[in-house]
Amino acid sequence: MSDKKVGLFKRALNFLAKLANGLRTLISIGFVILFLVFIGGMFADNLEPLPDRGALYLAPSGILVDQRAYVPPLDQLLSDQSAMYAETVVRDIIKALNSASKDQRITHLVIDTDYLEGAGIAKLEEISGALMNFKATDKPIIAIGDNFTQAQYFLAAHADHIMLNPMGSVMLNGFGAYRNYFKDALDKLKVNIHIFRAGTYKSAIEPFSRNAMSVQSKAENSDRVNRLWHYYSSTVESLRNLDKGSVDNYANNLHLNAQALGGDLSQLAQQQGLVDQLASRSEILDYLNAQIPGTEDEFDHVDMATYLMHIEYEELVAAAAAPSDKVVVVVAKGTILDGDQPEGTIGGDTLAYILNDLDNDPQIKAVVLRIDSPGGSAFAAEIIRDAIGKITERDIPLVVSMGSYAASGGYWIAAEADSILAMSTTITGSIGVYGMIPTVEDSLAALGIYTDGVGSTDIAGIMRPDRPLSQQTKTLFQSSVEHIYDRFIKLVANGRSTTAEAVDQIAQGRVWTGQQALELGLVDQLGGLNDAIQVAAELAEIDQYRVEYPSRILSPQELLVQQLTQNISASLAGLGLQPAQLSTELSTGLLSRARSALSPLTKLSEFNDPRGIYLHCDNCPI
């Protein structure tokens, strides 16, 4: 047989083999889908009915976020129950509150803050708007807690009646901006840090080059935390009808006032007007039973998750008559990294794919990009900005909604939007660039290890961390950083319809609050996500529309495991079991294999820009 015939025969066999594998995969997927449908049908009726009249029980857990971080489905199923509620999505809270304010079935709101672990001030500000809308309906709001942290108390302060455990406290301690500095430690380890930056106030590199905060950074951070604290304290004083300066006085004199009361912090909180009643858990339950409609044993209520499922089901039923026009909200949450990344971080390629995929849906009339990011990789940020440009080229309005922060690389991807909205306490700006290269030639020399050799050019091996950084390399990196900064200034100037010189005056790495950014022209108006959606619809000139939240497309394996996990969780719930209980019934071998199978989905380490140049605000979160 000739070589040509042999080649054709081999290709035919390969084609048949691939066809057989494809058919086998399709058959397997078909069986799994049938199994999932069967399991889902068994437990489709698990949704608890809403009470005819009762309270919405709002108990946010974990950290308040704009998007939950990705957790492999089997990890969700097998983890401890508390780990499954480590984050609460802000828009879920706002949707529940806005729906409940108009829902005649909801007579009261009970805020239980004990499970809330933390929240950025901008997210609290956004939820505050929804709480004020609910409050305007005159439906009573009751807040309960064993203790109140600063974030917890901000939500509780909106209540008509606040109840604190007699063994508890209200800890209001202000905002701070502190971090560790490593210069002496690096010197002792003989690690050489080579820093390149553009922007006088770009302080991300200070921990590696100093032992203390610089004068410029200290002044900027002090101004920012004082502005944010003023918002917090003045809002609480207004909600609680306290004299101006009461919250400052409470925080600054907490130790003296507590001592005067023998260390009774709950009594101090009541004396200072921060809470209305001290009550044990059983007394709180008795109070709720007396105030809210229900049976003799317990007041009628519905938790937020169940309430949202009912609202979404009602929306689904009404979807047949829903408008065809769409406003889509794309969430960009976390550090900006190169390549594909799971939820909780922003993958340049991942987010660009989501944005590019919007081109396939003619019903999309406007796009809202929700940014909650301190920035990151300059290269990845540019990949995202390029994808945004494709949307605006099609004359589709694109509006940016800023969350807790949209700084540095977060502002890079926001700058050219048709409109930018931020909360007054959002952290933004930080228009600056830096790069950093550590070398360990002195560390190795101290151990008696040296590097030597030859290269065909003067710059061969310039990125070896075991060699001193050459002057050529330093010049190359500094010029690259300055080039990226120049691009940053120009794209902001273009997006904000101003000059590069004017942008440079407010750039240089400076960080601004949303209120300051409005005054400086870096944002167009103050408002939350719902406000941004409304602005997008107005720009698109549409009155009737539905809102969708596109997300990363899961692989077939992820999708199957996710669906299976959800159905098993529903099955266990129907049996009165918690998902974590299942782990005790599974063998160690199965657990090991499951983790191994999902290990490729774990996120990559941060700061993976291919050129080592970053648009990152290191001290943005408050």
Say if CB 236 and CB 151 are below 8 A apart: no
What do you get for the CA distance between the two ends of the chain, in Å?
A: 75
Closest CA to 426 of 121, 208, 72, 113: 121
Please list the alpha-helical segments (H only) found in 325-400: 348-357, 378-393
DSSP string covering 55-80, please?
Answer: EEEE---EEEESSPPP--HHHHHHS-
CB 151 within 8 A of CB 119: yes
Nearest CA to 372 among 432, 415, 331, 329? Answer: 331
User: Which listed residue (101, 128, 203, 408) is catalytic?
Assistant: 408
Are 164 and 472 within 8 A, CB to CB? no
Give the C-alpha separation, 326 to 271, whole Å. Answer: 52
Taking alpha carbons only, the member of 394, 408, 413, 429 closest to residue 330 is 413
Q: What is the CA radius of gyration of the chain?
A: 28
> Which is it for strands 141-145 and 106-112: parallel, antiparallel or unpaired?
parallel
Q: Please compute, for residue 536, the number of CA atoms within 13 A of its CA located in the half-sphere on the CB side.
A: 33
**Active-site entry in 202, 326, 333, 365:** 202
Instruction: Confirm if 424 and 231 have CB atoms less than 8 A apart.
Output: yes
Say if residues 205 and 230 touch (Cβ distance below 8 Å). Answer: no
Q: Is 95 a catalytic residue?
A: no
592 is catalytic: no
Nearest-5° angle of CA 143, CA 176, CA 530?
Answer: 55
For residue 59 the two structure tokens come to: 């108990």
Nearest to 289 by CA among 56, 100, 54, 113: 54
Token pair, residue 309, equals 């499922």
Are 614 and 411 in contact by the 8 Å Cβ rule? The answer is no
Tell me the C-alpha distance between 572 and 87, whole Å: 22
C-alpha 576: how far from chain center? 32
Q: Kindly list the distances between the CA atom of residue 569 and the CA atoms of 349, 575, 578, in Å, as whole numbers in the listed order.
A: 32, 10, 8
Both structure tokens of 515: 């209120």
Residues marked active site are found at 202, 408
